[in-house]
Structure 1
Amino acid sequence: MTHAAENGKRGPLDREPLAYLAAALRGVGQVDLQPQLLTGAFILAGLWAAGWKVGLFATLGTLLSTASAYALGADRGSLSRGLQGYSGCLTGIALVGSLGHHPATYVLTAVGCVLCTVLTAALTTLLGPYGLTPLTAPFCVVSGVIVLGAPSFARIWHGAPAPVADPTSGDTGITFSDLWHAFFANVSQVFLVDSWYVGLIMLAGLACAGVRVVLWAALGSVAGIVAAWALGAPTAQISAGIYGYNAVLVGIALGAVFLAGTGWNAGYALFGAGLSTGLTAAITSFFAPFGGHTFTWPFILTTWALLAAVPQLPRLRAATA
Structure 2
Amino acid sequence: MSIAEPDFLRRIERKQPHGFLVASVRGVGQVDLQPCIWTGVLILAGLWAAGWRIGLFATIGTLMSTATAHLAGVDRSNIALGLQGYCGCLTGVALVTSLGAHTSTYALAVVGAIMCTVLMGALTVLFKPYGLTALTAPFCLVSGIMVVGASSFSRVWHGAAPSGFSTTGSTSLSWSELWHAFFTNVSQVFLVDKWYVGLIMLVGLACAGVRVLLWTVAGSVVGILAAWALGAPASSIANGIYGYNAVLVAIAMGAVLLAATVWNGGYTLVAAAVTTSLTAALTAIFKTFGGHTFTWPFILTTWAFMAAVPVLTRFRPAD
Letter in 1 for 2:279: T
Contact 1:61 1:113 in 2 (8 A): yes
Are 1:112 and 2:112 matched, yes or no?
yes
CA distance, structure 1, for counterparts of residue 154 and residue 50 of structure 2: 29
Deviates more, 1:228-237 or 1:68-77: 68-77
One-letter amino acid of the counterpart of residue 180, structure 1? W
Paired position in structure 1 for 2:190: 191
Name the residue aligned to 1:299. Answer: 298
Q: Is the 8 A contact 2:164 2:239 kept in 1?
A: no
CA distance in 2 between counterparts of 1:15 and 1:253 reads: 31
**Other structure's SS at 2:293 match:** coil
Residue identity opposite 2:161 in structure 1: P
Q: Deviation string for 1:47-73 (max 9, x for gaps)?
A: 000000000001111001100111111
Q: Return the alpha-carbon distance in structure 2 between the equivalents of residues 94 and 17 of structure 1.
A: 27
**Cα distance in structure 2, aligned partners of 1:51 and 1:302:** 31
Match for 1:220: what amino acid? G
The answer (yes or no) to whether the contact 1:164–1:284 under 8 Å persists in 2 is: no
* Unpaired runs of at least 5, structure 1: 1-11
Could you tell me which residue of structure 1 aligns to residue 200 of structure 2? 201
Name stretches of at least 5 consecutive residues in structure 2 with no aligned partner. Answer: 1-11
Deviation per CA, 1:61-118: give whole Å up to 9, x if none: 1001100111111111110000000000000000011111111001000100110000
1:258 aligns with 2:260: no
Mapped to 2, the partners of 1:244 and 1:164 lie a distance apart of 13
Q: Tell me, yes or no, if the aligned pair for 1:13 and 1:76 is still in contact at 8 Å.
A: no
- Residues 296 and 304 of structure 1, relative CA distance in 2, 3 Å threshold: same
Structure 2 counterpart of 1:217, which letter?
T
Report the equivalent of 2:239: 240
1:129 equivalent in structure 2: 129
Distance 1:91 1:314 in 2: 36
2:318 equivalent in structure 1:
319
Q: What fraction of aligned residue pairs are identical, expressed as a percent? A: 65
The one-character-per-residue Cα deviations of 1:104-151 (angstroms, maximum 9, x if unpaired) are: 001000100110000000000000111100000000000000000001
Compute the displacement of 1:15 (Å). 4.4
Q: For residues 164 and 284 of structure 1, what CA distance do their matches in structure 2 show?
A: 11
Q: How does the TM-score come out when normalised to structure 2? A: 0.95
* Partner SS state of residue 259, structure 2: coil
CA contact (8 A) 1:164 1:288 kept: no
- Alignment-derived partner of residue 96 in structure 1: 96
Residue in 2 aligned with 1:284? 283
Q: Distance in 2 between matches of 1:53 and 1:164?
A: 19
* 1:216 aligned partner: 215
- Kindly state the Cα deviation for residue 163 of structure 1 after the two structures are TM-superposed: 2.5
TM-score by length of 1: 0.94
